[in-house]
Amino acid sequence: MKRIYRLVHQEARQRAANDCLNAPDGYMVTVSEQTRNLEQNAKLWALLAEVADQVDWYGNKLSAEDWKCVFSAALKKERVVPGINGGFVVLGQSTSKMSKSEFSELIELIHAFAAEKGVSFAQ
């Protein structure tokens, strides 16, 4: 059984506490900040599409997916490791696992980069 509680009022907190008290041994509990929402996700992809259309990156046109990797790696202070078949892999973080505040930081990073590169966003 899996239950997720959004802790927005006392009744939700009480239900979560009761489930914790009555859970069988071995169950796990995680309390965390809410992850990004659908509105943030839609905004991300709109921004990435504009950056992909308007920015040449060292002579390359990157896809929106490529830019997502570039920005998420930059946000998390990227690490580069050798690839299995040669080349290199930049390690970032999956945006689906980002908290709302981390995701907001990612959006801000994209806006700052876009301003520096002269990217204009559709309204």
The pLDDT score that the predictor gives to residue 123 is: 67
- Please give the torsion angle defined by the CA atoms of residues 36, 38, 40 and 44, in that order, rounded to the nearest 10 degrees: 110
Residues 4 and 55 in one domain: no
Side-chain-side CA neighbours of 87 within 13 Å: the count stands at 4
Q: Is residue 41 part of a domain?
A: yes
Instruction: Answer whether 74's CB lies under 8 Å from 87's CB.
Output: no
pLDDT of residue 94: 80
pLDDT reported for residue 78: 79
Examine residue 108 and state whether it is found in any structural domain, yes or no. yes
DSSP state of 86: S
H or E, element range at 82: strand 79-82
Q: Do residue 16 and residue 75 come from a single domain?
A: no
pTM: 0.69
Domain holding 23, by residue range, is: 1-31
Count of domains observed in the chain: 2
pLDDT of residue 4: 86
Distance in angstroms (rounded) separating the CA atoms of residues 104 and 86: 34
Answer whether residue 22 is part of any domain: yes
122 within domain boundaries: no
Query: Per-block average pLDDT, block size 10, for the chain (123 residues)?
Result: 88 94 92 84 95 96 94 86 90 80 92 95 80
Domain match, 15 and 71 both: no
